[in-house]
Structure 1
């Protein structure tokens, strides 16, 4: 598709919230990107328009059969005014992986990236500059064909919206408490657990509610077959420092291939720290906690970057990790990643895409 992106600028600009009001995903910028798909025509009509509600037929397939995927990435403004995106190419490759799994037509990743580039630059005044803040980029695809019947849609819409977000933690990174889910499962190999699709998150809400009711911040999921092996924590990948080695569950077909996960693994190897990607049982983890070899645990994801784990609850027993404190390695990873993202630290991996200079 070589059609240029049409830009229809808003004439009714919103007031921008202050950095201390941002929170996460509460405010949205003045514009959005839209592109449509029709069977036989392909993706067409790329456009940037004023932010607005989506009008869909009640029979649109996204409502009935859940054909939808999404991504999350961040844009930053460096101290010298450069606008930077963190690893957008990997996010867009994963978006197309999710598209394939959900029978959604592939997107031209170069077109999608150009759309994000133009949209972010148009909204550059919305990018907060305070420490811990960023502009969250949410691309997603929905099935729009108005037809009942279990079959892939013949029409889709690709949309990108932007949201200025504040620091995920108001007072630095603080350890969270984790509830190991004993009943519900997140996904199994062959399912859609390794796709970033809405149903994965809807299915996890009931477990999250129970965890919150018992005073825990997140859910640690076990595998759906044996109910033994660790998979993810909430909507994040998870890591454990046991002795001198960092362990993380291997990508087994039911775990999301997280961009932050991959970044952490590459950072650790760059620092000469041993990393193992393999099956990790909850019994092995409990034993490591009991013998003192489990010294740190943390989740990784776009929103929080690093989320230290201070306590695990499993089968009626609480297991403290690093006496409930943020570990040195967790803090080092957080500082390194956020420094690379904001352009204050060297980027030896070439992760940051520069959209413009001051």
Structure 2
């Protein structure tokens, strides 16, 4: 992480809440660690970052985030190894992406030294919230919101950058069932699909609710213009194994450039697994399922790491996927977590010691 002389102002919590938490029974995102960081953008400049006890904050009802949706976020994790050292996984990728998202929504980019100095100090203060053990992590949520008061339809001139954290276990504890989208779209050409804009996720909830009513868990989104090509899942990038070949869609202005996605692509290359990054058609995958050539579908993302898809629905027909020996998804999940928990050598320099 970037060395810096920038130091956040710190107000430490008087009494930690950690003893009140059942770490063996966590609901993702519901329990927050003791501290949070915020930094305000005022008069064209980011102010000194502040770390304070986690808690409510005041914001006026006319703040532009509520009316025009200027809000972007990131998802990261901190991992603790068996020697009680805390590690981050490719954090520079998340920093670059939140600024890329911000730029698309006319939000001023956040300084790199502010980001990493604040993140490092926040993790130092709340290091006990990072638990050891398989599947355990501290989920890190940086985000930016527009805070200028006023309902005029224009970009804000004030913003708040924040980082909150929450202890986490596995996001999905079982395989999922999906539906290939045929009516609704996640994103369109020229839009904000590549950004982690809050509205991208809000717009997914209703179609996902319809899918859940049918007994399914998630949607694999298709291109908005034709619904002929598979692009990404509700909260994840998506991979398909046809025979021994791994397929995934290329990133574009509709698809999020996932950190886990690009790490899996690299791990596939490292292990001589053929990976093809090109458009993946619905027809190709449906036909592969019918012929028995479709061996796996799995999602990839920071929260989930890797999650197996056990079947999909298309045209009101449900297709079960086989249980295969030595699945790619299991291999990639273990390979990633071995690196993240500092159990094996990291040949790509992806892990960064937090402190």
Structure-1-length-normalised TM-score: 0.95
2:203 matched residue in structure 1: 203
Deviation per residue, 1:174-228 (Å, 9 max, x gap): 4211112221110012101000011000100011101110001111111101111
SS of alignment partner, residue 78 of structure 2: strand
Displacement of 1:253 in angstroms is: 1.2
Displacement of 1:150 in angstroms is: 1.4
Are 2:172 and 2:307, in contact at CA under 8 Å, matched by a contact in 1? no
Are 1:23 and 1:167, in contact at CA under 8 Å, matched by a contact in 2? no
Displacement of 1:130 in angstroms is: 2.6
Deviation per residue, 1:9-52 (Å, 9 max, x gap): 11132134132122311100111001000133x10121111111
1:298 paired with 2:298, answer: yes
Q: 1:248 to 1:180 in 2, by over 3 A?
A: same
**C-alpha distance in 1, partners of 2:293/2:183?**
28
2:37 matched residue in structure 1: 33
1:108 paired with 2:107, answer: no
1:99 paired with 2:114, answer: no
Residue 83 of structure 1 is aligned with which of 72, 80, 86?
86
Are 1:296 and 1:327, in contact at CA under 8 Å, matched by a contact in 2? no
Are 2:49 and 2:114, in contact at CA under 8 Å, matched by a contact in 1? no
Stretches of 4+ aligned residues off by more than 2 angstroms:
1-4, 167-170
Residue 27 of structure 2 is aligned with which of 19, 23, 29?
23
Displacement of 1:3 in angstroms is: 4.8
Are 1:131 and 1:167, in contact at CA under 8 Å, matched by a contact in 2? no
Q: 1:290 to 1:128 in 2, by over 3 A?
A: same
SS of alignment partner, residue 211 of structure 1: helix
Gaps of 5+ in 2: none
1:189 matched residue in structure 2: 189
Displacement of 1:329 in angstroms is: 1.0
SS of alignment partner, residue 215 of structure 1: coil
Are 1:175 and 1:326, in contact at CA under 8 Å, matched by a contact in 2? no
1:289 matched residue in structure 2: 289
Residue 127 of structure 1 is aligned with which of 121, 125, 130?
130
Are 1:19 and 1:130, in contact at CA under 8 Å, matched by a contact in 2? no
1:345 matched residue in structure 2: 344
Tell me the C-alpha RMSD between the 2 structures.
1.4
Deviation per residue, 1:217-243 (Å, 9 max, x gap): 111111101111111111100000112
Matches within 5 A, 1:269-280: 269-280=269-280
**C-alpha distance in 2, partners of 1:220/1:196?**
17
What is the number of residues matched between the two proteins? 351
Q: 1:201 to 1:326 in 2, by over 3 A?
A: farther
